[in-house]
A and B are shown apart, each in its own frame.
Chain A
Amino acid sequence: MATTLTKAEDRAADTASHAARLRHVSKSFATPAGRQLVLDDISLDVAPGEFVTLLGASGCGKSTLLNLVAGLDKPSAGAIDTPGGRPALMFQEHALFPWLTAGRNIELALRLRGVERSARRPEAERLLELVRLGGAYGKRVHELSGGMRQRVALARALAQDSELLLMDEPFAALDAITRDVLHDELTRIWRETSVSVLFVTHNVREAVRLAQRVVLLSSRPGRIAREWTVDIEQPRRIEDADVAELSVEITEELRGEIRRHGRH
Chain B
Amino acid sequence: MAGTETKAVTKTAKTPRPAKGDDLAGLEAGLDALDAVQVTRTPVREVLLRKVLPPVVAVALVLAVWQLLVSAQVTDAYKLPPPAAVWDSLRKMWLEGTLLEVLWTSVSRALLGFLMALAIGTPLGLLVARVRVVRAAIGPILSGLQSLPSVAWVPPAVLWLGLNDSMMFAVILLGAVPSIANGLVAGIDQVPPLFLRAGRTLGATGLRGARFVIMPAALPGYLAGLKQGWAFSWRSLMAAEIIASSPDLGLGLGQLLENGRNNIDMPGIFLAIILILVVGVAIDLLIFSPLERAVLRSRGLLVKS
Which A residues have a C-beta under 8 Å from some C-beta of B?
Answer: 4, 70, 72, 86-89, 91, 93, 95, 97-100, 108-109, 112-113, 132-133, 140-148, 156, 160, 177-178, 181, 184-185, 188, 235, 237, 239-242
Contacts and interface: CB of A to CB of B under 8 A. Distances in A.
A147 B35 contact: yes
Interface bracket on B: 35 or more
B9 A143 contact: no
A148 B299 contact: no
A216 to B, nearest CB: 25
B212 A108 contact: yes
A184 B208 contact: no
Contacts of B9: 241
A142 B299 contact: yes
Contact of A241 (B10, B29, B39): B10
A112 B204 contact: yes
B193 to A, nearest CB: 10
A91 B198 CA distance: 8
29 contacts: A4-B203, A87-B201, A88-B201, A89-B198, A91-B194, A91-B198, A95-B194, A97-B195, A99-B217, A100-B216, A109-B202, A112-B208, A112-B212, A132-B25, A141-B300, A142-B299, A143-B36, A143-B39, A144-B36, A145-B31, A145-B35, A146-B35, A147-B35, A156-B202, A160-B201, A185-B24, A239-B13, A241-B9, A242-B13
A111 to B, nearest CB: 8
Contacts of A144: 36-37
Q: Closest 6 interchain pairs by CB? A: A142-B300, A145-B35, A95-B198, A112-B203, A98-B299, A89-B201
A88 B197 CA distance: 11
A43 B96 CA distance: 87
A148 B204 CA distance: 24
Contacts of B298: 99, 140
B32 A145 contact: yes
Query: Which of A89, A98, A100, A235 has the most C-beta atoms of chain B within 10 angstroms of its own C-beta?
Result: A98
A237 B13 contact: yes
B218 to A, nearest CB: 10
Interface string B172-195: 000000000000000000000011
Nearest to B208: A112
A140 B38 CA distance: 12
Query: Which of A72, A99, A177 has the most C-beta atoms of chain B within 10 angstroms of its own C-beta?
Result: A99
A241 B13 contact: yes
Given A108-B212, A147-B31, A185-B28, 13 more contacts: A87-B201, A93-B194, A97-B216, A99-B216, A100-B216, A132-B25, A143-B37, A144-B37, A160-B201, A160-B203, A178-B31, A181-B24, A241-B9
A40 B130 CA distance: 34
A143 B217 contact: no
A89 B25 CA distance: 25
Nearest to B295: A99
B31 A177 contact: yes
A235 B15 CA distance: 11
A188 B17 CA distance: 14
Q: Specify the main secondary structure of chain B where it touches its partner.
A: helix
B28 A132 contact: yes
Query: Which of B9, B201, B203, B204 has the most C-beta atoms of chain A within 10 angstroms of its own C-beta?
Result: B201
B31 A181 contact: yes
Contacts of A241: 9-10, 13-14
A242 B6 CA distance: 12
B24 A184 contact: yes
B219 interface: yes
Nearest to B209: A112
Contacts of A100: 216
Given A91-B194, A184-B24, A241-B13, A142 B37 contact: yes
B4 to A, nearest CB: 14
A147 B31 CA distance: 9
Contacts of B275: none
B50 interface: no
A168 B219 CA distance: 28
B297 to A, nearest CB: 9
Contact of B32 (A89, A97, A148): A148
B213 interface: yes
A97 B36 CA distance: 19
Contacts of B37: 142-145
A188 B31 CA distance: 18
B91 interface: no
Nearest to A240: B13
Contacts of B208: 112
A82 B77 CA distance: 85
Interface string B288-305: 000000010011110000
B217 A97 contact: yes
Contact of A70 (B14, B201, B300, B301): B201
Nearest to B205: A112
Contacts of A148: 32, 35
Contacts of B29: 132
B9 to A, nearest CB: 7
Interface string B239-254: 0000000000000000
A148 B198 CA distance: 18
